[in-house]
Amino acid sequence: MKLVFKALLLIIALSSCTKINELHGIDNLKNKANNLVINESNSNDVLNVIGPPQHKDLLNKNIWFYNEVRHTQSKLGSKEIIENNTLKIEFDDLGVLKELTFLDKNDLNKVIFDKNATQSLGKSQSFLLGLLAGIRERAKNFGKTSEQ
């Protein structure tokens, strides 16, 4: 019985030492981007080499974005990002490749974000106030017919 318990304990200990590697996005993004040539490749070449874009710019549909994020999960469940690459591809109006910008994990850490807060265009009142106002309106209209 002790032997079975020790074997089971050993199996559990060894299985918890393994790391789980996960990929989100496009595999080998930098190698695929190196196959593209500025002023020669077009949007169809990009679709054949890398695939459809993961994101397009909201204001300019000629700017495409691709991501590659690799992370590993340790035995305690914490995740560590191994690679975090972003590729920005910009085309001209004819679909010819004009600019390739590759950002790796170190470059993305240098990005400066704006500290200003965005004003909400939605309701400024809380959910509870909205609920109570709705009940008040229904109570005011209770018993009234729609044929007045």
Angle at 66 between CA 64 and CA 71, to 5 degrees: 160
- The helix (run of H) or strand (run of E) holding residue 138 is helix 127-140
Residue type, 116: N
pLDDT number for residue 68: 92
Buried b (16+ CB within 10 A) or exposed e, 58-90: eeeebbbebebbbeeeeeeeeeeeeebbbbebe
pLDDT number for residue 13: 63
pLDDT number for residue 130: 76
Q: Please state, in angstroms and rounded to a whole number, the distance separating the CA atoms of residues 129 and 131.
A: 5
pLDDT number for residue 124: 61
Contact of 54 with 27, CB cutoff 8 Å: no
CA atoms within 13 A on the CB side of 48: 7
- Please state, as a whole number, how many other Cβ atoms lie within 10 Å of the Cβ of residue 139: 9
Q: Please state, in angstroms and rounded to a whole number, the distance separating the CA atoms of residues 142 and 96.
A: 64
pLDDT number for residue 141: 78
Q: Where are the domains of the chain?
A: 20-112
- The DSSP string of 14-44 is HHHTPPEEEEEE-TTHHHHHHT--TTT-BHH
pLDDT one digit per residue (tens) for the chain, 148 residues: 777 777 776 666 666 556 677 888 888 899 999 999 999 999 999 999 999 999 998 888 999 999 999 888 776 677 888 888 999 999 999 999 999 999 888 887 777 777 787 766 655 667 777 778 778 888 877 766 655 5
Residues 6+ apart with CB under 8 A from 148: none
